[in-house]
Amino acid sequence: MSVMDFHFDFSSPYAYFASTRVDELAQRHGRVCRWRPMLLTPAFQASGNVRLIDQPLKGAYSRHDWDRMARLMQVPYRFPDPFPIGTVAAARAFWWLDSTDPVLAKTLGRALFHGYFADNRDISQRNVVAAIGAELGIDAAQLLAAVEDPVWKAKLREETEGAIAAGVFGAPFMVVDGEAFWGVDRLGMVEEWLARGGW
């Protein structure tokens, strides 16, 4: 089945909002959505950008926009503290699980997003990631071992480098047959692209 790639960092509010829509969107067009967590910091470095929250004017706008967009999309959200955070543990845990159970990996991914952005759980902490996993029946000791495993460290690094090499500079970043769409505000455009096969 053809895919729709969904590149993101677990620390991005816009990616969280998109994550509540991408799977159904892909399914409506006979595709499977492939979640691809990465680290945004190297992507920002590569593209000369800084975190939204640190930008004068745009930072204040974004913070207001997240609240407004959450209400519009009816997605549970509160501005988390701390923000932003490192998502190495969350992303490695996802990739580890994805290698054996992609469906459960997505379930974990949704729970991590929800835990951080709706329940203010600090998923930069590996113990929090493990606790969220445990609530889904995922073995906490195995998850914590995977987070430290060189295999999953390398996987996340490669994923991030590969995404940047493919042009990913922000999140969410959707790619369909090589066509790239950046931002949750482009989900409508992605849908149009899939429905019409481009234009």
Q: Which residues bind a copy of itself (CB under 8 A)?
A: 43, 46-50, 55-58, 60-61, 64, 68, 71-72, 164, 167-170, 180, 182-183, 185-186, 188-189, 192, 199
Residue 52 CB, shortest distance to a copy of itself, in Å, is: 11
Backbone φ/ψ region at 198: left (φ over 0), alpha (ψ -120 to 50), beta: left
Question: In this complex, which beta carbon is closest to a copy of itself, that of residue 108 or of residue 164?
Answer: 164
What distance in Å separates the CA atoms of residue 125 and residue 140, rounded to the nearest whole number?
13
Question: In this complex, which beta carbon is closest to a copy of itself, that of residue 54 or of residue 135?
Answer: 54
Give, in order, the Cα–Cα distances in Å from 64 to each of 134, 152, 191: 33, 35, 26
What distance in Å separates the CA atoms of residue 114 and residue 121, rounded to the nearest whole number?
9
Please name the residues in contact with 79: beta carbons below 8 A apart, sequence gap of 6 or more.
63, 66, 67
Residue 58 CB, shortest distance to a copy of itself, in Å, is: 5
Residue 93 CB, shortest distance to a copy of itself, in Å, is: 27
Residue 123 CB, shortest distance to a copy of itself, in Å, is: 27
Question: In this complex, which beta carbon is closest to a copy of itself, that of residue 69 or of residue 131?
Answer: 69
Give, in order, the Cα–Cα distances in Å from 34 to each of 84, 98, 130, 159: 24, 10, 22, 13
Question: In this complex, which beta carbon is closest to a copy of itself, that of residue 108 or of residue 175?
Answer: 175
